[in-house]
Amino acid sequence: MSGGEVAGILVAVFWAILVSFLAVALFRLAQTLRAAGELVTRVTEEAVPLLADAGATVRSANTQLARVDAIASDVQEVTANASALSSTVSTAFGGPLVKVAAFGYGVRRALGRHRGAPADGDGDVIVAGPAGGPARAAAAATARVPAARRGFSARRRKG
């Protein structure tokens, strides 16, 4: 065996080893591609129904949003009508009712002064002193203190 034959055998063995490594790598690559293909097939089989359900859900949500929009516009219209009605009632009856209340208050005060010791509407007694003078003004000023506070004020002054 000559040196050229030994070199040829070494090159042939090297190529055989290289081809076997490439064959193993190609076999593993083929297995990986086959598994990826199966995975894509399964994902497609499961994703299509999910996408159909998602589309149905979106359509249902759009329908509900349209209903809510209609309800909101109706509520806005009712609110505007109630506001207009409130301002109309306030304009129509507010002024006259205030005048009637003021007239009633004036009549009550006038009748109360005429009778002697009237109540001023909140439970406080207005004490009438002798006819006119500073005693009457002082008594009227102190008599407007509510009954619950009179005792407290009197104790404060004494102590």
| pLDDT of 124 | 47
Give tens-digit pLDDT for 66-76: 999 999 999 99
| 28-66 pLDDT, tens digit each | 999 999 999 999 999 999 998 899 999 999 999 999 999
Residue 125: which of 111, 108, 142, 102 has the closest Cα? 142
Query: Which tops the pLDDT comparison, 43 or 143?
Result: 43
Q: CB of 127 within 8 A of CB of 140? A: yes
Task: Indicate the SS3 state at residue 22.
Answer: helix
Please provide the average confidence, as pLDDT, over all residues in the chain: 80
- 122: CB partners within 8 A, 6+ apart: 146
Contact between residue 121 and residue 108 where contact means Cβ atoms under 8 Å apart: yes
Q: Measuring CA to CA, how many Å separate 39 from each of 30, 63, 98, 129? A: 14, 36, 82, 105
Sign of CA dihedral 16, 21, 25, 30: positive
pLDDT at 153 over 80: no
The model carries a pTM of 0.38
Amino acid 128: pLDDT: 47
What is the per-residue pLDDT for 125? 46
Whether residue 141 has pLDDT greater than 80: no
